[in-house]
Structures are given as C-alpha cells and as structure tokens.
Copies of this chain bind each other. A is one copy, B any other.
C-alpha cells in the first residue's frame, strides 16, 4: 500500500479505520489536519480527536496548502494521514481557490509522495439535493475530488458502520 483512500459518511468510523491502518504500518505517524475551529463545537471536536489519537502521533495543521505539505513531509519511514479532504474542499471554497487546479495538484502529490499516504473523505452526495446553491456547489466539488483521489489511490475503502467495503 502506497496510497489508501478511505471514504465514508459522518460517524461511519472512517477516521478510526484510517488511523488503525496507519498504526499498523512501521514508522512515524504524521496527522495532517485540515479542520479549522470556527466555533466551540468544532474546537471541542478537534481537541477530542487529537486526544483520542494518543502520543504516537504528531499533528500538522494544513487548512489549505495540502499538496505542498504532502510533498514536503512524505518520507519512506513516515506515514501521512490526511483527515479530511472534505473540510479541505470547504476551506478552499471559502478562500476562493481554484478547485480544479487544487484537485489536480493533490492527485499529483499523492502519486509523487516519497512515502505512504492515507486520505480520508466524506461521501456527501447520497441525500436529497440541498436547497441552497452554495451547498450544491460544495457537494459537486467534494464529489469531484473524491473521484480524482479514488482514481489515483492504490487502494480505496468505503466505510459503513465501522466496517470496510473494498472499492479498489
């Protein structure tokens, strides 16, 4: 496994699964966190997740410049875990970045990384069409990034109720 893409719903156990896969590999563990705390609910969630990961992990906050961070930090003896691409998409939209260019840069970074990379994303397209246009744009962007990374990754797992279903 050089790259693994873990896709799932909210509270599907996708992050836990991805962390367990990372911890099963030898080497340092570096968590690339895309979450930004805009309110108390998010802050509490981020702190709880960091505590849950335990002392074997280092954490780097990467709200935006993810492709560069992957290329700069990937190494043969180090496992990168990116959690998650869906928040990254949201951050990119808020910062008015070029989504197509960023998606392509991410896929290239995953392919060229000098060590194993595990990426987590939400599947958000399986509910009713959202009422507002921004949510629809976000859903489209998240789906496009998921397709691009699934096409690039060596292994893809869909997680439901904590259980993996191999897609690739």
Count of interface residues, chain A, beta-carbon cutoff 8 Å: 39
Q: Does A156 contact B (CB under 8 A)?
A: yes
Contacts of A139 in B (CB 8 A): 10-11, 128
Within 8 A of B (CB), among A123-168: 123-130, 133, 135, 138-140, 142-144, 146-147, 149-151, 156, 158, 160-163, 165, 167-168
**Which residues of chain B are within 8 angstroms of A143 by Cβ–Cβ distance?**
9-13, 161
Contact B158 A160 (CB under 8 A): yes
CB of A117 within 8 Å of the partner chain: no
Interface centre among A125, A140, A158 (most CB of B within 10 A): A125
The reply on A5 being an interface residue by CB < 8 A is yes
Cβ of A41 within 8 Å of any chain B Cβ, yes or no, is yes
The B-contacting residues of A in range 84-121, CB under 8 angstroms, are none
A160 near B123 (CB under 8 angstroms)? yes
How long is the Cα–Cα vector from A20 to B142 in the complex, in angstroms? 22
The reply to whether A10 and B125 contact each other, CB–CB distance below 8 Å, is yes
A7: interface (CB < 8 Å): yes
Contacts A11-B144, A12-B147, A158-B160 known; 15 new A-B pairs at CB < 8 A: A10-B129, A10-B139, A13-B147, A123-B126, A123-B160, A124-B127, A124-B129, A125-B126, A125-B127, A127-B127, A127-B128, A128-B138, A128-B139, A149-B161, A163-B168
The 6 A-B pairs at the shortest CB distance, nearest first, are namely A127-B127, A11-B143, A9-B125, A10-B125, A150-B161, A126-B126
Interface, chain A (partner B; CB < 8 A): 5, 7-13, 41, 123-130, 133, 135, 138-140, 142-144, 146-147, 149-151, 156, 158, 160-163, 165, 167-168
